[in-house]
């Protein structure tokens, strides 16, 4: 079973690598901190305004290591949703529309293997996009503002090396709710059988999540909403380093990830792809 899933996974990776939308999504993610850094460099915004009034914002223009972390807060939910929607909404629907799913299913692979391979490829794309985001952001940030210590959320100075060591774990924590959004996009791709509907539906889902978190009557449920998990990485930039929000993000994000994946599997296993 694992071997068949890995075979499907390799096929899906090759297909993603050949698609322009994959590289468009990765480029969009990678350029986000670059665009933001340029806007800071050419703007006349003063400290305590705009991006400076965000977590770690006071480090802007003082340490190049701040750019990735501040941008994580500014892109919020919609930025990652745009990146994942490009691939998640199309990964099944695109082949369904083209009529190539029936070709795949004539091979010695069960439907579960095919969908599992697509899911792993989608998650790999999310990781690749976030790694590209982090790497290019660090390069341009350090080039522009230097490799200097950072003032963390507790007001303590931490070394540049420690900040660098924490940056990619922080992006990894940020990835947890992003994967949950990608999973819903995969579900829509299976359900709608139409790429545009899958992509647009994923973006509307992200917008709905943001709107839901702003409703006063459900204020008590906010810690368990997916939107709130995008801030869990803040735990890494406190003194001492905390972990409660990260632990919560692990299981809350998993709860938002599992149902759409299960629903996608139930629909896909009974899908008639012959017509």
Which pLDDT tens digit goes with each residue over 191-210?
998 999 999 999 999 999 98
Q: Which of 94-103, 153-162, 181-190, 214-223 has the lowest mean pLDDT?
A: 94-103
Most confident segment among 26-30, 73-77, 191-195, 209-213: 26-30
Query: In this model, does residue 182 exceed pLDDT 90?
Result: yes
The rounded distance, in Å, linking the Cα atoms of 229 and 179 is: 12
The rounded distance, in Å, linking the Cα atoms of 206 and 246 is: 21
> Is the separation of the CB atoms in 167 and 68 below 8 Å?
yes
What single string gives the DSSP state of each residue in 73-89?
Answer: HHHTTHHHHHHHHHHHT
> Is the separation of the CB atoms in 36 and 67 below 8 Å?
yes
Percent of the chain at pLDDT above 70? 91
> Is the separation of the CB atoms in 49 and 155 below 8 Å?
no
DSSP strand pairing (157-158 vs 150-151): antiparallel
Q: Which of 41, 49, 70, 248 is nearest to 167 (CA)?
A: 70
Helices marked H in the chain: 2-17, 20-42, 66-75, 78-88, 93-98, 101-105, 111-145, 160-192, 195-213, 244-269
The rounded distance, in Å, linking the Cα atoms of 102 and 120 is: 20
Angle at 142 between CA 141 and CA 143, to 5 degrees: 90
Model pTM score = 0.93
Query: In this model, does residue 18 exceed pLDDT 90?
Result: yes
> Is the separation of the CB atoms in 267 and 198 below 8 Å?
no
From its phi and psi, is residue 155 left (phi > 0), alpha (psi between -120 and 50) or beta? left
pLDDT digits (tens, 9 = 90+) for 41-69: 887 666 666 666 678 888 988 999 999 99
**b vs e for 43-69, b when ≥16 Cβ sit within 10 Å of the residue's Cβ?**
eeeeeeeebbeebbbbbbbebbbbbbb
Mean pLDDT of 107-127: 88
Contacts of 11 (CB under 8 A, 6+ apart): 104, 117
Predicted confidence band of residue 149 (pLDDT cuts 50, 70, 90): very high
């Amino acid at each position: 079973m694992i071997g068949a899933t890995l075979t499907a996974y390799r096929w899906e990776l090759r297909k993603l690598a050949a698609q322009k939308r994959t590289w468009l999504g990765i480029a969009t993610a990678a350029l986000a901190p670059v665009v933001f850094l340029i806007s800071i460099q050419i703007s006349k915004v003063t400290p305590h305004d705009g991006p400076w009034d965000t977590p770690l914002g006071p480090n802007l223009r003082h340490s190049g290591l701040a750019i990735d972390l501040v941008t994580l807060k500014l892109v919020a939910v919609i930025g990652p949703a745009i990146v994942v929607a490009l691939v998640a909404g199309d990964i099944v629907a695109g082949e369904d529309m083209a009529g190539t799913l029936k070709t795949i299913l004539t091979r010695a692979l069960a439907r579960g293997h095919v969908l599992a391979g697509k899911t792993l490829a989608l998650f790999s794309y999310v990781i690749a996009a976030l790694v590209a985001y982090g790497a290019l952001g660090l390069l341009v940030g350090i080039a522009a503002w230097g490799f200097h210590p950072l003032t963390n959320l507790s007001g303590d100075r931490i070394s540049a090396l420690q900040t660098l060591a924490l940056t990619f774990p922080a992006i990894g924590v940020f990835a947890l709710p992003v994967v949950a959004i990608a999973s819903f996009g995969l579900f829509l791709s299976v359900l709608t059988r139409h790429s545009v509907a899958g992509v647009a539906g994923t973006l509307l889902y992200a917008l709905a999540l943001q709107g839901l978190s702003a409703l006063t009557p459900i204020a008590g449920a906010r810690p368990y909403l997916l939107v709130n998990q995008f801030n869990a990485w803040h735990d890494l930039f406190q003194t001492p380093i905390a972990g409660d929000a990260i632990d919560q993000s692990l299981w809350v994000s998993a709860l938002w990830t599992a149902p759409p994946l299960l629903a996608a599997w139930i629909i896909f296993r009974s899908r008639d792809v012959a017509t």
